Amino acid sequence: MSNRGVSCGSLSIPPAVRNAPTKEQTLHQEFLLDHLDFITDVLTAEQIHRKRDLPACCPHATPETLARSRGTDETYPCRYTEIHNPSGDTCPGAICECGDSLSGSDDPLDAVAAVALVESNKPASYLYFAKKERQLVADLRERFGTWGNIADLKQQTLNDYLHEHPSTTQEDKIGAGILSALLEDVAALQYTEGVTLCNFSRLQYDRFQEELAALPGIGEDDAWWLLLTAFDKPIWPADPQIDSLLCSFGLLTPEEAETSTTRHKLLENEITDRLLPVLHRALAGHACTGGVGQCEEDCEIRQFLLSHRLQVQQREQTNLTAIDLFAGAGGFSCGLAHSGFDMQWAIDFNEYATATYRLNHPEIPHRNIVCSDIRETDAAEQIRSTVGEPDLVVGGPPCQSLSLAGYRSRLAADDDYSTLDDERTSLYEEYLDIIRELQPKALVMENVEGIMTEVGDTGVRVIDRVLEGFEDIAATSEYGYEIQFDLVDLSKLGLPQSRDRVILIGVREDILENDFQIESIFENLGEDQSCKRTLRQALAGLPKLLRGEGGRVVAGKQPGSPSDYIAENFIAGDTDLSFNHRAREHPMEKDQRLFEEALDPGDTGWDVKYKKDDEYSDLIEYDVGTEENPRFKDKYRMLEWNEPAPTVVAHLAKDANSFVLPDYYEHVVDDEDRANKERYRGITPREAARLQSFPDDWIFLGPFTSWFRQIGNAVPPMVGRQIGNLLTPMLADETSVQTDRELPEPATSDD
């Protein structure tokens, strides 16, 4: 039987990967190994969304569970069914939605027999798409029962059945001989009883492979592949298509891929047992139906590819240069890059935020993205040795100690807590030290409103200490800076949330033009924003999930034209997938009643306590103050679709009860058929990212709760882009900046 339409070509290694610097290759491989689960989900979702032929070898297609076992009689689910698909089931009516006809198999011999029927000398990746052979075996088992029954059939009966099967064509040369010989040899094996391969798992892997390869119709490479897919052994079969893709990723070096071998033991040692069969299958699905060479152009996995990263780094950089201190997930850098700056170095202490930054800034070599405490790093020397003299330094020293939410949290844990004693309060000094050392042309600092207010009863404002630091730089360094700061309402810049932040901008005195005033930057921020942006505009096009739906990746978006907010801020990105779009389950009955019955759009817990005729007041079990003196009103709050959202905060990592969405199909589009009470839920990380103006192809790595922290702590990319656009003409004598991002195509939407 043939399997047309599936590529099974030879090894193909991108030239950029062959010439990759050893350090970049090594660091990229280490990075990928930390995030293989996310990569697997992206590969899987991309195949579902593009409606590609999905690879077989569902985990339910074998009773063996060595690598995937969770407990007694419990196995890992099929990854293709775990991905949320807004368009519905991938293969409706099949035992498993992935469509593998052998799902539900009770004997590994089913998969072995299917391979025996495939033309010889096919690579492992091809076997994932031997759909006809697997269907024939499934039908054969359904028609005659056990393999023992099939072995007892007369040769002519079996031969007639095979030739009359709907999947058999005139070109196929299948006879009963190959199956009969296979079943005869299986029955003679000393490791099993009868015509079965169940419980045939007690051998060493090499010996196991030899026994399988000795069976009729099973080659050397087939046997290794069957060990992984039919017997669930944690091994990694070599394959030219998959190995080519692994080289593009950077998980294999060209030398490793070109070494004659039947399995890659390095990957077996690095990848967890449960993930080996899942990732191998997902890679085969992409390599064989999506191709290898096209990945750099329009594929959702390209951000993870070493080949893509190297190509981006090889582009000529002629723009202004910038570095990002306390970079977090890279929001400030994202905006600056859109405005034309070349980001060249970044540092942050949080490992998950740094991983996110690393993935989304492929133009920066791994060695120039540092995960470290800035106080323990000679940052200025590293920057000077790798970047030289940057034109712009930006950063937002951690602000939790100065934010209202952060102060409440620390005070609750320690009655003697003092903001001035919090080590995070003085991290601005590290920022000033780097400015003193590097003397960039310009600088930008972003922080919370608390930096401008008196700390307790001390008479001290942190902003005053920052300004004193700049005065010291002017007195002790070659150049001083003209400094201006202001408390900026970011909603006036077009952000669909209430978010007040202190923006401080400095320009080196020697390059200030005579007629240039820094105040003009603040005056011009948001000048192109003509109207208020709302929650509805921000979330347009995202799948409208029920509680508990979604995940790392959702296979698609809702069709439709982007809102003005999405289009003007390039948020749709270069992807049709929805990343980091996972809704909480909200299992507590109390919360569900509050969401579905007690809260109306715009309400808080205080409203439920004092304005609902006591019907639901017993559900508010925390202190909201009195009717005359409210306090902590917003522990529960329902958002309004046609208003901006409240400030997106890192506290969303703990719960999203203060960001409850009302059902879109009840409060915006009156659609009884689609209205669902389970759509009353807290916002997802992707929805929070939309409110922060992150593009949809900005992937947040790390655990679920860390996504919220990264997003809540970030500088909105919109802010970085607008500031970058206003600084560029002065720093580079240019009057305009062009971006290379294209607007999405218009369509029809219910948003």
Which residues form the catalytic set?
Answer: 399
Rounded Cα–Cα distance for residues 291 and 449 (Å):
50
- Determine the 3-state secondary structure of 114 from DSSP: helix
Bridge partners of residue 487, in order along the sequence = 502
Beta bridge partners of 381: none
Three-state secondary structure call for residue 571: coil
Give the DSSP letter of residue 268. Answer: H
Sign of CA dihedral 666, 671, 677, 681: negative
DSSP characters over 293-316: TTHHHH-TTGGG-HHHHHHHHTS-
Q: Which residue type, as a one-letter code, is found at position 123?
A: P
Closest CA to 172 of 4, 379, 285: 4
Contact status, residue 93 vs residue 196, Cβ threshold 8 Å: no
Q: How many CB atoms lie within 10 A of CB 375?
A: 13
Distance of CA 148 to the CA centre of its chain: 48
Residues near 326 by Cβ (< 8 Å), separated by ≥ 6?
347, 348, 374, 395, 396, 397, 398, 427, 431
Q: CA-CA distances (angstroms) from residue 201 to 114, 211, 213?
A: 19, 11, 15
**Number of other CB atoms surrounding residue 151 within 10 Å:** 18
Q: Measuring CA to CA, which residue among 650, 631, 622 is closest to residue 409?
A: 650
Question: What is the C-alpha to C-alpha distance for residues 231 and 225, in angstroms, rounded to an integer?
Answer: 9
Alpha helices in 570-642 (DSSP H): 589-593, 605-610
Whether 471 and 478 have beta carbons less than 8 Å apart is answered as: no
> Of 399, 381, 380, nearest to 647 (Cα)?
399
Contact 334, 353 (CB under 8 A): no
Residue 52: what residue type?
R
Q: Which residue shows structure tokens 């077009």?
A: 494
DSSP 672-688: TTT--GGG-EEPPHHHH
Cα separation, 184 vs 300, in Å, equals 47
Q: What is the DSSP string of 450-518?
A: GGGSB-TTS--BHHHHHHHHHHHHHHHSS--EEEEEEEEEGGGGT-SB--EEEEEEEEEGGG--TT--T
CA distance 221 to 361: 39
The answer to whether 287 touches 245, Cβ cutoff 8 Å, is yes
Pairing relation of β-strands 442-448 and 500-508?
antiparallel
Contact assessment for residue 630 and residue 622, using Cβ atoms and an 8 Å cutoff: no
What single letter denotes the amino acid at residue 191?
Y
